[in-house]
Structure 1
Amino acid sequence: MFKNLLIYRLAETWQPDLDALVEAADAATFIPCGATQPISAGWVAPRGRAHGSLVESIGGHWLLRLMVEQKVLPGSVVKRRIDEMAERIEADTGRKPGKKQRKDMKDQAQLELLPQAFTKQLGLPVWIAPQEGLLMIDAASTARADEVITLLTKGLAGFSIEPIHTALAPATAMAGWLLAGATRPGEGEMPEAAIEPPAVFTIDRDCELKAPDVSKSVVRYARHPLDTEEVRSHIEQGKRPTRLALTWNGRVSFVLTEQMVLKKIEFLDGVQENTPSAGRDGDDGFDADAAIATGELIRLIPDLLDALGGEQKPGLFEASATATPTTMPMTTPAAPAKTSVSADAPPWE
């Protein structure tokens, strides 16, 4: 159901209204790209059923799905077309096109080629927890999440989100947990920066450490013990954890990033045992999967915030080496970024 999770706090000034959400989604239904349209975004049925409901309410949680479609034009194809146009101009006028003229030729070439271009689609699951005041988006980047928030802002009067602040930055907390795990019995007191991880979280075997200096050196561990002197040495030399694999309550594994994004979410064995309809096809399967995902993650999120020192209102934290504000990605809705049509860098990669 969810592979990644970007978490946002709904502003207290906006009162969730299911009927208004349904109306807004119906007004922004997904329509595929037109012949010369480079990108299109809109809502589709979360169940994947044609003409199905665009908003599903399951156990008090609201589920949507944003579909983004983009035309893909390889850069080499566009360049070849520009070169053809430039050769024709040079043959007719006896001079090569200038920089500004080539820019205009690029726009013209893209417009000509768009009707023949292939398209790529990306579906983004969206989850609103009105009682908890949270918005979650299954996206690999904040750029994709921006499109969701922009569409919700356009369709819902007064809709806005606020950043989530925690007393500890994720990188600070992750470094502290790793230092505590690498401290051997009999070594005396743990390093000052060491932090015992909360009992509900266990550290797994994947980690990424980066140096903040100009070297930008990176060390990655995959399926490797992290309670080692080597890991501790990297941290003491100044490298900061940017990704760390964790397991919550033996039920959900994920990778926490320095931006407090949850990636590679996986529900472990035993989570579905008490849900008879789990794994079924059709509506029963969707309802069961949605109930499991939202039920588990809505309990994981507050535990994660507590592990990072607790959620705090802006201005209430003290800046220090061990207590720094963590601002969640995307604090205010932004207009969609200008999009270039290229196969080299699709928007979802």
Structure 2
Amino acid sequence: MFKNVMVYKLGGAWTADAGLIEQALESRRFEECGATQERAAGWVPPRGEEHGALLESVGGQYLLRLMVESKAVPASVVRRKADERAQQIEAATGRKPGRKEVRELREEAKQTLLPVAFTKRGSTLVWIDPQARRLVVDAGSQSRADEVVSLLVEALDGFAVQELHTATSATAAMSEWLSSQQPPAGFSIDRECELKATDASKAVVRYAHHALDIEEIRQHIAEGKLPTRLAMTWDDRVSFVLTEGMQLKKLQFQDGVFEKTSQEKEDGFDADAAIATGEIGRLLPDLLEALGGEIVPSTEAPAPAAPATASEETVDAPF
């Protein structure tokens, strides 16, 4: 539960109401791809129970799950089928198909192959924290996180998210921590990092399973390479890789964190969800503080002489 974490701030005007969310998502339940459909996305029960609720509330935390199914037809197969058809047309009519007709033949070939294509499924866990007013998406890619946000915006009236800003960028903070070998309070530096040059060379240096308290790394930073990934552990409980985009990758809970999880199937989901959201819910404020604290950009602040009003929310990049 939760391997990669992208965090957004909920828009101030939206109210997280479990009943309304469940009702809105019901019409967007996942349905598998049709015979000639390349892709399908929809919401499934986070517990994994067929026909179950699309929203689970555990300790006041809301959990959702997005399912995506896609069909892949190799481009080489599509081209071969289209070329075979083009050759048949040329042999029958003496006329070689033009570019537009070739494109149409390829689309026709793809539609013919889709019904027998293998399908691939993947799901994304989504957590809405009504108290902290955060959206957490367990996505390994920006495109998947963007899709989750877009589908929530479509489904939930007034739903919006904003970017989280901190006084110190993740890159600047990681540079300082590696150079000084003094991680922020409550955190430790682990044995993985990546540094990239900002000049035309775009050189990349990666360390894996390697001590990072070495002069070589400080020299790389002094020469202008910037950390883009750094493995860390929080409170000896949660390990992760912090990225330059302030995303948490390779999230891993340490031994003992889940030792009190019930072995009963019906209780396991609730216990795991409560522990995971509880740990991450305490980690995030500490990380924000380590990055100098959350700040409100001047573009989001109200004008000095005007009364405070709710500004229009927009979808931005994740934390």
Structure 1 residue aligned with 2:184: 198
Structure 2 residue aligned with 1:19: 19
Report deviation, 1:90.
2.2
Structure 1 residue aligned with 2:197: 211
SS of equivalent to 2:239: strand
What do residues 95-118 of structure 1 show as CA deviations (whole Å, max 9, x unaligned)? 433333322222222111111111
SS of equivalent to 1:150: helix
Q: Of residues 283, 288, 295 in structure 2, which corresponds to 1:312?
A: 295
1:284 and 2:267 equivalent? Answer: yes
Query: Aligned residues, how many?
Result: 304
Moved more, 82-91 or 287-296: 82-91
SS of equivalent to 2:154: helix
1:232 and 2:218 equivalent? Answer: yes
Measured in 2, the distance between the counterparts of 1:279 and 1:245 equals 30
1:172 and 2:155 equivalent? Answer: no
1:293 and 2:276 equivalent? Answer: yes
What do residues 253-281 of structure 1 show as CA deviations (whole Å, max 9, x unaligned)? 001111111111111012124x2xx1524
1:60 and 2:57 equivalent? Answer: no
**Conserved 8 A contact 2:177-2:184:** no
Structure 1 residue aligned with 2:144: 144
Structure 1 residue aligned with 2:125: 125
**Conserved 8 A contact 1:124-1:138:** yes
**Conserved 8 A contact 1:166-1:309:** yes
Measured in 2, the distance between the counterparts of 1:310 and 1:78 equals 52
Distance 1:169 1:93, change over 3 A: farther
What do residues 143-180 of structure 1 show as CA deviations (whole Å, max 9, x unaligned)? 11122112211111101111111111111111111001
**Conserved 8 A contact 1:5-1:263:** yes
Measured in 1, the distance between the counterparts of 2:206 and 2:94 equals 56
**Conserved 8 A contact 2:125-2:137:** yes
1:223 and 2:205 equivalent? Answer: no
Distance 1:99 1:268, change over 3 A: same
Structure 2 residue aligned with 1:303: 286
What do residues 37-81 of structure 1 show as CA deviations (whole Å, max 9, x unaligned)? 111011111111111111100011000100000011112211211
Measured in 2, the distance between the counterparts of 1:10 and 1:58 equals 19
Measured in 1, the distance between the counterparts of 2:70 and 2:158 equals 29
Structure 1 residue aligned with 2:304: none
| AA of the residue aligned to 1:31 | E
What TM-score results when the alignment is normalised by the length of structure 2?
0.91
Measured in 2, the distance between the counterparts of 1:176 and 1:119 equals 46
Measured in 2, the distance between the counterparts of 1:109 and 1:240 equals 48
Distance 1:99 1:279, change over 3 A: farther
1:258 and 2:244 equivalent? Answer: yes
What TM-score results when the alignment is normalised by the length of structure 1?
0.84
Measured in 2, the distance between the counterparts of 1:244 and 1:102 equals 49
Measured in 2, the distance between the counterparts of 1:311 and 1:333 equals 16
1:103 and 2:103 equivalent? Answer: yes
Moved more, 89-98 or 12-21: 89-98
Structure 2 residue aligned with 1:10: 10
Return 5+ residue gaps in structure 2 as ranges. Answer: 301-313
SS of equivalent to 1:266: strand
Report deviation, 1:314.
1.2
Return 5+ residue gaps in structure 1 as ranges. Answer: 182-195, 318-330, 335-349
**Conserved 8 A contact 2:162-2:316:** no
Moved more, 205-214 or 53-62: 205-214
Measured in 1, the distance between the counterparts of 2:66 and 2:266 equals 19
Measured in 1, the distance between the counterparts of 2:20 and 2:142 equals 25
Measured in 1, the distance between the counterparts of 2:196 and 2:176 equals 15
